[in-house]
Structure 1
Amino acid sequence: MKMTPIVRTTTKLVSPFLVTYSVYLMTYGHLSPGGGFQAGVILAVSIVLLITSHGYKRVRKTFKFWEVQLIEGISGAFLVFLGILGVFFGNFFYNFLRGGDVGALLSGGIVPLFNIGVALKVGAAFTFMFYILLRWVERD
């Protein structure tokens, strides 16, 4: 089903704000409610909005299937790396980065890094699942 120009224009305008809010939640999620999972879902929603309004084939040219797989794999490896790196400093996922005042951006140690990894993993996984579902529907 082809969407109207109003829907397509609106999603083009809204998607950058969703991505910006997702990046905000990734970086400041340890200071307020929110964090990696919520940021990843919002990131995936911005792509899903573009897919539903502009069509799978058009968006697939910009956000390629293999790129989404690569982002998911790298972010998963990054999370495992953070966990294993913590073992060398004490325990699994040990918060080995110190510093910063309470409430400051750098006060969370590895938590902001973990939020970024989780957000990219969740966002890529939801986008990847949506791509797979659309491929399945496209065959029928």
Structure 2
Amino acid sequence: MISPFLVTYAAYIMLYGHLSPGGGFQGGVILAVAVILLITAHGYKKVRKRFKFNWASLIESSAGAMLVLLGIAGIAFGAFYSNFLPTEGGIIPSFNVIVGLEVGAAFTFVFYILLRWVESD
């Protein structure tokens, strides 16, 4: 019941991390905690049907690729991770969201691996 609120709070922390304390890492940890709470409350097997192990791996890999593309786009506009967006925070909100997805997927991925290891015992 609390997981949707945690996901919303994680999105807020990621999007407004350049204006207030927080950012991608903190938002990603909160995002992973939302999934971990679902697993704790409903059980690994039930949650695994909707949030597959491969999804966490795919999101983590995609976020890493997006970080590289953001850096390459910065090079195209002047310097590595150069600020090329005319918005208030520039590329920082985009960077925070991508880092948040990377961290959230990585922590969820590690939790899934630990659950598989415990389940095999």
- TM-score w.r.t. length of structure 2: 0.97
**Aligned equivalents of 2:40 and 2:68: distance in 1?**
33
Q: Which residue of 2 aligns with 1:112?
A: 93
- Does residue 39 (structure 1) correspond to residue 27 (structure 2)? The answer is yes
**Aligned equivalents of 1:32 and 1:64: distance in 2?**
33
Q: What's the CA shift for 1:52?
A: 1.2
Show structure 1 runs of 5+ residues with no match.
1-12, 99-105
Residues 54-107 of structure 1, C-alpha deviations (whole Å, 9 max, x = no match) = 111111111011111111111110011001111111111111112xxxxxxx40
**24, 32, 36: which one aligns with 1:48:** 36
Q: Which residue of 2 aligns with 1:125?
A: 106
Letter in 2 for 1:16: P
Residues 15-48 of structure 1, C-alpha deviations (whole Å, 9 max, x = no match) = 1110000011111111111010000000000000
Please identify the structure whose Cα radius of gyration is greater: 1
Q: What secondary structure sits across from 1:33 in the alignment?
A: coil
**Aligned equivalents of 2:66 and 2:2: distance in 1?**
29
Q: What's the CA shift for 1:139?
A: 0.4
Show structure 2 runs of 5+ residues with no match.
none
Aligned-residue CA RMSD in angstroms?
Answer: 0.8
Structure 1 vs Structure 2: percent identity of aligned residues?
A: 68
